[in-house]
Amino acid sequence: MKYESTRGGSKDVFSAEAIKTGIAPDGGLYVPKEKVSVDLKFIEGIVNDTYQERAKKILSLFLSDYTYEELSECIDSAYGDNFSSAEITPVVKLNDQLHVLELWHGPTCAFKDIALQILPHLMVKAIKKTGEKSEIVILVATSGDTGKAALDGFADVDGTRIIVFFPDKGVSEIQKLQMVTQEGKNTYAAAVKGNFDDTQNGVKRIFTDDTVINCLNQNGMKFSSANSINWGRLVPQIVYYFSAYADLIKKEVIKIGDKINFVVPTGNFGNILAAWYAYDMGLPVNRLICASNENNVLTDFIIKGVYDRRRDFFRTLSPSMDILISSNLERLLYEMNGRDSEMIRSWMRDLSEKGIYSVDYETKERIRKVFWGDSSTDAETIASIKSVYEDCGYLLDTHTAVAVDVYDKYMIYTSDMTQTVIVSTASPFKFNSSVAKALFGDEADEKDEFELLELLSERTGWNIPDGLKNLDKKEILHNTVCEKDEMRKTVIKILGI
């Protein structure tokens, strides 16, 4: 299977090339050229499989230029003892209609591990398969969780170096410590004085900066991306939507062919886009519910068909969703507008020049047929953590709580009785200060994030994940801070070129 760029100005490539380069040379995103479809028999066939077996069957449909053995090696190395659940992405029942898909059992306690534990393996094989001689420099902009997950995934992977930029005030203390204590001879983390959009824009500019690219070339290096614009980030995420469906069949919650809903806490639109690909392949889905925090640019887009980033940026309790430019939406738009790259180019031009674009009526209606969107305030997020804990004894992190709150709103509008899966994107311990505040009120104010880990664990009986223990005792290995217009200089300096 080949991949093409959403902007229509790059040649088609195999998946190894798409994964190696991350973004297409014309600035577009790679999408599969052909539709991948499975039938209900295929889905029945994965019900008794392990997660790894499910992954092998699904990834081989998309990454057809990798051999089955190559994919097996990648999958077996990515999903093993580094996850705290043998099921990798277990589904937990909240009530008769609501289930939680826990995506945070990986080493960094957020869902990005699912993709970033496997991406380096796919990348190393891609380097070999394409005869690449250059060292690959992974450049990442992070709102917190991607950064650590990418550093952990790429640490000491031969033939690669990784540089992560994070907004200095846009990440939690724990997230920051996770990054700046990262070991590995090829890892670098730097704080940027700005917000996530500044950071992401800075990285995007470096990716297309000819001077920097030439400088890298002369030194035998080449950029790639581990952000969710890389197809190798997206495709592993399709697996857990099938896996959740298969688990619900196994638990006899649904019968084969029954439709279910997914509620996805959304930022850059990667996770929910993977859900859409699963739906497009034939997974029985009723609604994909897009949950935003107060940075509700996507929710508004789903309702109105107008993407308008000209609005205030809010720092919320769900920082990994504090995003005004959702890069992966471009892929959905391409799939929904009849694969018209000229139209994509004009919308993206409007977005960068005017901060706004409107899609045509047909595109909007196609999106609305499957997507539903709404948003939550911080107060609603906190209330939902509290009520779910009181009613079900289940701890939600702030991002997952946004999803639960949006689901409650969805139910008020629709009274839909469909079985629904809340996609849980982080361990409650990762965002413990907000979670503790929701449960214990002012008592939480006097404690730091590490005391709160203990408190949360003591009071709830939930275990602190290994990845978050002793972080405050680790040595700080990265202390670079730069202005947002100095990111390029910082890259050159780090690489020593």
List contacts with ligand PLP (CB under 6 A): 110-112, 145, 228, 265-271, 320-321, 399, 425-426
Other beta carbons within 10 angstroms of residue 35's beta carbon come to 10
CB of 106 to ligand PLP, least distance (A): 11
CB of 399 to ligand PLP, least distance (A): 4
The one-letter code for the residue type at 125 is K
Other beta carbons within 10 angstroms of residue 268's beta carbon come to 25
CB of 266 to ligand PLP, least distance (A): 4
Which residue's CB is nearer to ligand PLP, number 263 or number 321? 321
Other beta carbons within 10 angstroms of residue 44's beta carbon come to 13
CA angle 227, 229, 230 (to 5 degrees): 80
Which residue's CB is nearer to ligand PLP, number 126 or number 298? 298
CB 163 within 8 A of CB 126: no
CB of 111 to ligand PLP, least distance (A): 6
Please say if 112 is a catalytic residue.
Answer: yes
Which residue's CB is nearer to ligand PLP, number 202 or number 265? 265
Other beta carbons within 10 angstroms of residue 446's beta carbon come to 8
Distance CA 359, CA 337 (A): 9
Q: In Å, how far are 107, 127, 163, 486 from 182, measured between CA atoms?
A: 12, 24, 11, 23
Q: In Å, how far are 199, 229, 237, 267, 276 from 179, measured between CA atoms?
A: 16, 21, 23, 20, 31
Q: Is the dihedral of CA 103, 105, 108, 113 positive or negative?
A: negative
- Active-site residue (options: 56, 112, 129, 176): 112
Distance CA 120, CA 333 (A): 28
CB of 14 to ligand PLP, least distance (A): 25
CB of 265 to ligand PLP, least distance (A): 5
Residues 6+ apart with CB under 8 A from 269: 228, 298, 326, 327, 328, 329, 332
Which residue's CB is nearer to ligand PLP, number 187 or number 400? 400
CB of 322 to ligand PLP, least distance (A): 10
CB of 327 to ligand PLP, least distance (A): 9
Distance CA 133, CA 321 (A): 37
**Residue 477 has which token pair?**
């290995």
Which residue's CB is nearer to ligand PLP, number 46 or number 336? 336
Which residue's CB is nearer to ligand PLP, number 21 or number 266? 266
What positions carry a catalytic annotation? 112
